[in-house]
Amino acid sequence: MKLHEDIDQVLIPSAKLRARIRALGRRITRDYTGRDIHLITILRGGLFFLTDLARAIDLPLSLDCLGISSYAGQAQGTVRITKDLDDSIRGRHVLVVEDIIDTGLTLAYIRRNLLVREPASLGICTLLDRPYRRIVDIRVDYVGFEIPDAFVVGFGLDWRGRYRNLPYIATLNPELYR
C-alpha cells in the first residue's frame, strides 16, 4: 500500500507550492531587509513549509520551534504548549510560520503568548488560509494559498499523524473517514 493511494484530489501540486514559497521568500526578503529575522514555526505541521521558506529568504536569519497540542477537528480553543521556544525573542523581529489558519483560535493564542515576551515585531506567515472560517479576527501578513473548506493533508499537514510527507496538498479519499 502506497501513501498516495489514499489521496482523492491534489489541490496544490508541488511545483505550484515551490513557486509560491519562492515568491513569498522574495517578498519577505524585501520587507525585512536591514532587520535580523527570527522565524518561529509551530510544530509539527509548519516544519515542511519552514524549511522551504527559510531557504527562499535571502537574509541572515535564525529559527526556533514552538510545540502546541492541536485540536484535530473538535474541542477548539484549548491550546497547550508542549515544547517552548529555546531562545528569547525579546527585541527580535519574529515571523511566525504556520501551516494553515482556519478559525484563527490557535494563532490568536500563540500571538498573545509571544507578545508578552516583547518581540520588536511579530509577523504572521501561513502557507494555507481559510479566511471565511475565522472566529477570531487576526491580521495575517503573508498567505500562500486560500483553500476551500475541505480537510487537507500533505506538505506538513496530517490526518491522525499521517500524510505529512506528501509533497503536495491534497484531500483524502472520503472512505478513510468512515
> For cell 509571544, what's the residue?
114
Q: Which is nearer to ligand IMP, 24 or 105 (CB)?
A: 105
The answer to whether 123 and 95 are in contact (CB under 8 A) is yes
Cα gap 47→91, rounded to integer Å: 24
* Residue 28 engages ligand IMP in binding (rule: CB under 6 A): no
* CA 150-152-155 angle, 5° bins: 155
Structure-block grid coordinates of residue 72: 484535530
Q: Does 144 bind Mg ion (CB under 5 A)?
A: no
- Please report, as residue ranges, which positions from 107 to 126 form the binding site for ligand IMP (by CB under 6 A): 107
* Residue 156 binds to Mg ion (criterion: CB under 5 A): no
CB of 113 to ligand IMP, least distance (A): 14
Cell representation of residue 133: 472560517
Nearer to Mg ion, 89 or 106 (CB): 106
Task: Say how many C-beta atoms besides its own lie within 10 A of residue 144's C-beta.
Answer: 23
Cα–Cα dist 136/102, whole Å: 10
Single out the segment in contact with Mg ion by CB under 5 A; choices: 45-53, 87-95, 114-122, 144-152.
45-53
Given Mg ion, ligand IMP, none, residue 91, with its beta carbon under 5 to 8 Å by kind, binds: none
- Choose the binding region for Mg ion from 75-83, 96-104, 131-139, 165-173 (rule: CB under 5 A): 96-104
